[in-house]
Structure 1
């Protein structure tokens, strides 16, 4: 076994991106994905349908996918919806935040210039398919081994010099100097390593669906801050000939509600849900003509008390999970990938090829990422508290909130800073 062999458990977007980056740098890596194996025909079948969910990819995440060779495939597929503006408003309040270059208050704006892209909305399966295609290309295939359709059932630490041996459900044993947990919120790796969680249950449920609206979205990501929770209207790619003949009318919805209210609404007919959704958005994009793929998920924040142990490190949702109101969950995971890759390869080169996944390397990664992720988690929780729930409707809180949004909306340098932070660059 080479001293820089790495085993990544979890073949989602975060784990697959890191695997590609390592393989590109000629570091041997094995990626284990418990989900069933897919061939080309399987991918074509699942991609025929529109997914109600999208990831709001920041410029930093797009840049990382470009480096991994996946973004080029996403762009050529046409299954992305770039956005150049973000609009945030609250009901029964003053102040609206509008981020982007289409802002008429920008005195130097050129109406004929193409608006600057802030990010792109992409369906999860579209990203995963692009990453899957890259697994078989010659610049990575010699260094990347992918095992899908099998679960890890046992992890054994063999000491700092040897790392971990993991056993799969078919009895296969794999040994690696470094074990990376990228296996989501319920991370098996985290649990087996004995790493505890700090959690916060918002007692909210998010309803998500795809909707076709009467008005076009005009490359704008919208978010209404409602007393019941946030309502996000996010551009979706036009995938059918009918869509392209009438472009920019499909949106992905993430509607946060108190849990009991959400569960009650989910029992209603789709048409009723669509009408209530349009009313909740104050008909910002007009009536809702069609609704598809209604689903829901409970909302909670969590943070691993440690991101690292001997020969082991957590990334993405295995390490942290945040409220979806700012759409930054995946982007934080992609920043984990960028930082961990840089620290691993930097220390490997600096040591002359002898250090791989050493404790000092992993601790540096944790020191750089955990405080930032923690700040984001608590910031999103604070925003949720300021707008949703009983306390948020008290008059003093409303006054502070209204005045804050109004003042911030008038400070252009601050608005540009917020937009830059959201882009991750």
Structure 2
């Protein structure tokens, strides 16, 4: 029998951003319901997933780590050992002089941490069952949203699920990714930019250790990132720091050619793919000894024309998506979470607990986050344009880019500024 349940806040999308936001609100004793289309996993199912190494990894900034600490998830991630901290970052280009080196080799300081997506998700979902939040947080898993009804500014939204149940909340938050149903149902338009590139993602074991360094090589065909991965097996731990996550951005046709080699599945084609990748990396870490878990995704940037409407707000990829060359996509979403919670709570306290998610409050969030996200999105697009493609191949552009990287790399205060920005500080 279908039921209707009322709550203060409804969050659609149970990924990292949505789950973190739900926990943060619950910690402030706000009634929140999180709707995740994926079925809830048992402890055994989580453990089965943890046995596998995921080629994908999130480069968590210091700001994102602090937010995960606040909701109690980072402590669980640390205990699991499934993270790879990095204390240095190296960026260089194939066809020019100069490189950018972030971090101090003599006095190592944490710049961030590489963590596989499901490791973060497991920690967040463990926290949802904790006594300090479960009284205020309800998880609805394994059911898809079929329709949204706006009932007016006083009542908010009614959400229809595929099992016939209905949920009602004063505030509806869309944290449901790039293809956001919430954004579409709200009639919010989208600005998009197609890079005509595809990213190949895989896990590799290299001849030389990564030494807690994240590396990014700017190639004429796109960027190649080598990101430290946590050591999973006992064999890995006995010889640590050799596994890395690769994100290799290529023109779409070239990426398809390389992916076809992988699909053929013979040892010879696997050797070709490893050789291509090692050569593209300029053998920065020697030969590639193993290659696992190849995946791909098209590259584009997008931003919602508006982040808010009456009783509705977008966060994370539902609001914006950027080029992965700086690894800041999730970090921008986590900054959305921090800003939204602070602004919601500030106006709620100011009103004596009467006003929650008013349009004026939501617009303050939009004014805070949308300009910042726009600058980041266009900055990453500009970087991609300067290093990859026909324009980037022009000799004057190469010379200007090379001289610019060389000069910037010599200005220590400027490098510290860039480091702080990348850390979300």
Residues 3 and 354, structure 1, Cα contact 8 Å, conserved in 2: no
Query: How big is the shift at 1:36?
Result: 2.2
1:67 aligns with 2:70: yes
In 2, the alpha carbon distance for the partners of 1:89 and 1:283 equals 13
Of the candidates 191, 194, 197, which is equivalent to residue 198 of structure 1? 191
Distance 1:185 1:381, change over 3 A: same
Match of 1:396 in 2: 396
Query: How big is the shift at 1:172?
Result: 0.3
1:136 aligns with 2:139: no
Query: How big is the shift at 1:15?
Result: 0.2
Aligned-partner SS, 1:251: strand
In 1, the alpha carbon distance for the partners of 2:330 and 2:167 equals 28
String of CA shifts for 1:38-64, please: whole Å, max 9, x gaps.
Answer: 111111111110000000000000000
In 1, the alpha carbon distance for the partners of 2:47 and 2:125 equals 13
Residues 70 and 130, structure 1, Cα contact 8 Å, conserved in 2: yes
Aligned-partner SS, 1:5: strand
Q: Which runs of 5+ in 2 are unaligned?
A: 262-268
Query: How big is the shift at 1:78?
Result: 0.3
Alignment of 1:17-416 (within 5 A): 17-102=20-105, 111=106, 113=107, 115-268=108-261, 269-416=269-416
Tell me which stretches of 4 or more aligned residues in structure 1 moved more than 4 Å: 1-4
In 2, the alpha carbon distance for the partners of 1:171 and 1:3 equals 15
Residues 5 and 166, structure 2, Cα contact 8 Å, conserved in 1: no
Aligned-partner SS, 1:146: strand
String of CA shifts for 1:251-297, please: whole Å, max 9, x gaps.
Answer: 00000000000001111133221110000011000000000000100
In 2, the alpha carbon distance for the partners of 1:246 and 1:363 equals 51
Query: How big is the shift at 1:37?
Result: 2.1
How many matched pairs?
A: 415
Match of 2:265 in 1: none
Aligned-partner SS, 2:392: helix
In 1, the alpha carbon distance for the partners of 2:102 and 2:74 equals 24
Query: How big is the shift at 1:396?
Result: 1.1
Query: How big is the shift at 1:3?
Result: 9.5
String of CA shifts for 1:220-243, please: whole Å, max 9, x gaps.
Answer: 000000000000000000111000
String of CA shifts for 1:316-358, please: whole Å, max 9, x gaps.
Answer: 0000000000000000000000000000111100100011000
Query: How big is the shift at 1:206?
Result: 0.1
Residues 94 and 402, structure 1, Cα contact 8 Å, conserved in 2: yes
Query: How big is the shift at 1:400?
Result: 1.1
In 1, the alpha carbon distance for the partners of 2:274 and 2:357 equals 50
Query: How big is the shift at 1:2?
Result: 11
In 2, the alpha carbon distance for the partners of 1:338 and 1:251 equals 30
In 2, the alpha carbon distance for the partners of 1:196 and 1:384 equals 25
In 1, the alpha carbon distance for the partners of 2:37 and 2:274 equals 35
CA RMSD of aligned residues (A): 1.1
Residues 393-402 or 302-311, more deviating: 393-402
In 2, the alpha carbon distance for the partners of 1:330 and 1:227 equals 26
TM-score by length of 2: 0.97
In 1, the alpha carbon distance for the partners of 2:272 and 2:31 equals 53
Match of 1:108 in 2: none
In 2, the alpha carbon distance for the partners of 1:130 and 1:271 equals 37
Q: Which runs of 5+ in 1 are unaligned?
A: 103-110
In 2, the alpha carbon distance for the partners of 1:274 and 1:98 equals 27
Query: How big is the shift at 1:4?
Result: 7.2
